[in-house]
Amino acid sequence: MKLKVHPSKSIYLLLLLAYIITFTVAGKAQTATFQVMTFNIRYPNPNDGFNYWPNRKELAASMIRFHEADIVGVQEAYRSQLQDLTQQLPGYKWYGVCRTDGATDPEPDGEFSAIIYRSDRFQLVSGNTFWLSEHPKEVGKAGWDAALPRIVTWAKFRDKQTQQEFFFFNTHFDHMGQKARAESARLIREQIATIAGNAPVILTGDFNAIPTEPPYRIITDEEAKDHLQDALYLSQQPHHGPMGTWTNAFQFPGVPDRRIDYIFVKNGFKVLKHANLSDSWSGRLPSDHLPVLARVELE
């Protein structure tokens, strides 16, 4: 016997099926993942000789390209280096200012804590930079006992796949001032809470501090409601690669206990994978720091 379906019921079933498909596709879009990297690329110092930037810029670009990093916080990046990288990475743009004068095209060239991102994936909604000092809005100000001016560049992004928005902060703490590093950690945590509120946040950087030292403990202090979490310990898949991220001036394979580069997250990010990337070319490294990579998902 052939089963007959009333036309009105057929239309209802088709509409129900369309709704289920739409809901499923939308649900998948809302859980899209992307790759985050933090990478101190080492400023272009001619005294590095064999490791001078022109001799390794292709290696640095290759790290970003091969590991499919969608968004990268870079440290010690001169504007000329940012230009070199984006020339080799079609589809990527960068955002940031120089730490000494707040300019996008400084003269002479200087260091940025810039954000490089895939413009086909992310829309830059807004952004700014503040200085790590007692006066965060004062351009070029070195804070506390810091040897140099230090900055945080941040951006609000919209994921074009999901329309979700999140904040990305990138920094480089001072290499000399112990007080400056601790106070910078307090300031950055406070500024993130003020700027981003309850929105999802990623923080990347070279913090010049290992996990047992005050800057790391201040940022991750669970007793503080505005604390962030270390992506390494949130990773659903076990960490890949060495633990140390500092190579002690391009020495291979690096210093095991010097983990000073991090990805931190808060407010809705899952971490699926985490790695410190020790890729090398016949013992040659792309920088004096290992890049850190995390695959994240925003719920």
For 97-145, write each residue's pLDDT tens digit.
Answer: 999 999 999 999 999 999 999 999 999 999 999 999 999 999 999 999 9
Mean pLDDT of 232-236: 98
Average pLDDT, the chain: 92
* % of the chain at pLDDT higher than 90: 86
What does the pLDDT read at residue 289? 98
pLDDT digits (tens, 9 = 90+) for 151-185: 999 999 999 999 999 999 999 999 999 999 999 99
Which pLDDT value is given to residue 11? 61
Class (C level, CATH) for 32-298:
alpha beta
pLDDT exceeds cutoff 70 at 227? yes
Q: What is the mean pLDDT of residues 193-200?
A: 98
| pLDDT mean over 14-28 | 48
User: Which of these ranges, 27-31, 157-161, 276-280, has the smallest mean pLDDT?
Assistant: 27-31
Q: Which pLDDT band holds residue 36 (cuts at 50, 70, 90)?
A: very high
Question: What per-residue confidence (pLDDT) applies to 112?
Answer: 98
On the question of pLDDT at 2 being above 80, the answer is no
Q: Which residue has the higher pLDDT, 286 or 32?
A: 286
- pLDDT tens profile 255-265: 888 999 999 99
Cis geometry, peptide bond prior to residue 215 (ω within 30 degrees of 0): no
> What per-residue confidence (pLDDT) applies to 217?
98
Residue 28: what pLDDT? 45
Say what the pLDDT of residue 24 is: 46
What's the pLDDT at 257? Answer: 85
Cα(198)–Cα(255) distance, rounded to whole angstroms?
37
Give me the pLDDT at residue 253, please.
Answer: 75
Stated pTM of the model? 0.90
**250 has a pLDDT exceeding 50:** yes
Q: What is the pLDDT of residue 254?
A: 80
Confidence of residue 27 (pLDDT cuts 50, 70, 90): very low
**pLDDT at position 71:** 98
pLDDT tens digits along 41-82 = 999 999 999 999 999 999 999 999 999 999 999 999 999 999
